Structure 1
């Protein structure tokens, strides 16, 4: 399994896929919805740089560096495959928070949602 297939190819998504993402509090669900999110994410960021792919049975962990403008994001994606080898669940963890918020601000409006902002406690 190539990292390119894991990250973006809709043909490898189960119909009932669930994507847990740092950009919105509720999961994205269903093949069409998740394919749309992944497509728009790939159109939003500047680069995905695969660092490591670990595979153990039905579980895959992908370690990536994501570049977005001046931001560098460390990404760790846990992917669970169903019995047919299709992605049925993706859990995405990104850091640092300011870079995640920057991507969220650009991506979520494309998905019909509202952008968030990061505000220091002393400014609230």
Structure 2
């Protein structure tokens, strides 16, 4: 089992963040532009944990070299069932440097978009707090 999957299933936010490279790039299923950096990615993941209900992984696929992983999941968002996939690419240190998420169906993606939009002020504030704490 991939360590990120273990961290998510344990709802261990610190372990999840520890697996992210400082220069990780997060590509959302509902936002146009990617989000670069560990602080915003970790904050987005915490936000997702707040909006997903009954989240669970159902399948894990890895390449032979161990640098690429696909973690297929199911969850509910605002009463809509979603199926999605976390695509992870690991750097030379074994940390996640590219994190892309896709979800379906469209109604579920729309519910996720609305739920995350409601969280985004908090997500941005958490990311800025983390950046400020590192600079202090």
Question: Which of 92, 98, 118 is 1:89 aligned to?
Answer: 98
Find the aligned partners of 2:118 and 2:79 in 1 and give their Cα distance: 20
Q: Residue 4 of structure 1 corresponds to which residue in structure 2?
A: 6
Q: Residue 105 of structure 1 corresponds to which residue in structure 2?
A: 114
- 1:1-124 counterparts in 2 under 5 A? 1-2=2-3, 3-5=5-7, 9-56=16-63, 57=65, 58-112=67-121
**Post-superposition shift, 1:91?**
1.3
| Contact in 1 for aligned 2:51/2:115 (Cα 8 Å) | yes
Q: Determine helix, strand or coil for the equivalent of 2:119.
A: helix
Q: CA RMSD in A?
A: 1.8
TM-score by length of 1: 0.83
Query: How many residues end up aligned between the 2 structures?
Result: 113
Displaced runs of 4 or more, over 6 A: none
Query: Residues 65-89 of structure 1: CA distance to partner in whole angstroms, max 9, x if unpaired?
Result: 1112321111012100000000000
The structure that is helix-richer by fraction is: 2
Q: Residue 125 of structure 2 corresponds to which residue in structure 1?
A: none
Query: Residues 46-100 of structure 1: CA distance to partner in whole angstroms, max 9, x if unpaired?
Result: 1211101112220001010111232111101210000000000011110001111
Q: Which runs of 5+ in 2 are unaligned?
A: 122-136
Q: Which runs of 5+ in 1 are unaligned?
A: 113-124
